[in-house]
Amino acid sequence: MSGDGKHPAPASNSPATDQEDQQASPGGRTQTEEETVTLQVYRYDPDVEAKRTGSFETFEIPVHEGMTVLDALIEARDEHDSSLTFRHSCRQGVCGSDAFFVNGKQRLGCKTQISELSKPIRIEPLPHQPVIKDLVVEMEGFYERMQAVEPYFDPDDPPPGELEERKQTRENREDVKLSTRCIWCGACTSSCTIASDEDVYLGPAAINKGYRFYADDREGDERGKERLELLTEHDGVFRCQTQFSCTLVCPQDIPLTEHIQTLKRDATKRDLKFW
């Protein structure tokens, strides 16, 4: 997974660093030699004659320690070509804006270290979604899938009182914890071949969202049954072929396939129980 393990410890952690050979840049990052990395970035713009057919443009970017793909793209945009377009915001892996297809895998730009990737680095928009411009894809299909699972808390019973919370056991909270971490980045759904093209398969993100509420004890059994029905209809969980691509690419390490399998098992138990 991107971001784990192989990030080299920055020089700033070693006590015996020789300050003199290094120049600190404003962010505290050190740049030792003039090392550069080659980026091949997908360009497309329906509005500009020269960019109406998609193509790849090359950028040579100076590298500093700890540089991420997003850092490199921002450098490319700010120093070389201000028309380079991509979504991004938080820079720390929580907003989910900057999911790209980097060297053939769905990753968050801000959570992918340049140092971990083989060069040249190929950066493309998420596959299986129409491209609006450069690395920006149409996310409407993704949002529609999310909305299709009624992704809001909808309990059977009214709350206990204006100043009283519903109780939830720590175990149950732990059960739903991972499924609540979804940041709507779209990486999983883009990686799933079943969810590709205009297929109406809900996809891992939407199913996981449904699971998040299904598994939350506070909603109640009736609602749980309704949710299970919704999630197991045509183009629901049974379209999943346990490809596992979703689980592999999720930047939040949510065990998506496992959640989908749980729903399949629960539905099967429900349907086979003819006694």
Partner 1 sequence: MARPRSRFESGSVAWFLQRVTAVVLLFVLAFHFLWLHFVNHAADVTLWGSALRMDQLVYFIGMVVFLVTAVYHALNGIYNALLNWGLSGRARQVSFWVFAVVGVVAIVQGIRIAFAMAGVVTQ
Partner 2 sequence: MHEHDVLVIGGGGAGLRAAIAAHEAGAEVAIVSKLHPVRSHTGAAEGGINAALREGDSWRAHAKDTMKGADYIADAPAVETFARTSPKEVIQLEHWGMPFSREEDGTVAQRPFGGLSFPRTTYAGAETGHHLLHTLYEQVLKRGITVYEEYFVTRLAVTDEPDPADRTCHGVTAIDVRTGEVTGFHATGGVILATGGLGQVYEHTTNAEANTGDGMAMAYRVGVPLEDMEMIQFHPTTLPSTGVLITEGVRGEGGRLFNAEGERFMFERGYAPDEGELASRDVVSRAELTEIQEGRGFEDEYVKLDMRHLGEERIMDRLENILGLAKHFEGVDPLEEPMPVKPGQHYAMGGIETNEFGATCIDGLYAAGETACVSLHGANRLGGNALPELFVFGAQAGRHAAGEDLGKPEIEVGPATTADIETEWPTDLGTDTEATDVIEDGSSLEPGTLLERAVEAERERIETLLERDTDRSHVSVRQTVQDTMTANVNVFREAESLETALEDIQTARDAYQDVAVTDPSRTFNTDLQQTLETRNVIDLAEAIAMGALARPESRGAHWRAEHQSRRDEEWLKHTIVNWRAGDPELATRGTLLESESVSYQPEERSY
Q: Tell me which residues in 138-157 interact with partner 2 (CB under 8 A).
A: 139, 143, 147, 151-155
Whether the upstream peptide bond of residue 251 has omega within 30° of 0, thus cis, is no
Nearer to partner 1, 95 or 267 (CB): 267
Ranges within 220-259 binding partner 2 (CB under 8 A): none
Spatial separation of the C-alpha atoms in residues 161 and 179, rounded to whole Å: 27
CA atoms within 13 A on the CB side of 50: 3
Q: Least Å distance between CB 248 and partner 2? A: 17
* Max Cα-Cα span within the chain: 79
d(CA 270, CA 202): 21
Contact indicator for 133, 196 with CB cutoff of 8 Å: no
Choices 21-29, 127-135, 151-159, 267-275 (CB under 8 A): range interacting with partner 1: 267-275
Assess 32 for contact with partner 2 (CB under 8 A).
no
Residue 274 binds to partner 1 (criterion: CB under 8 A): yes
Choose the one of partner 1, partner 2, none that binds residue 241, judging by a C-beta under 5 to 8 angstroms depending on kind.
partner 1
What is the rounded CA–CA span in Å between residue 130 and residue 112? 23
Within 10 angstroms of residue 157's Cβ, the number of other Cβ atoms is 11
Q: Which residues, numbered 189-248, are part of the site for partner 1 (CB under 8 A)?
A: 193-194, 197-200, 225-226, 229, 232-234, 236, 238-239, 241
Site of interaction with partner 1 (CB under 8 A)? 193-194, 197-200, 225-226, 229, 232-234, 236, 238-239, 241, 264, 267-268, 270-272, 274
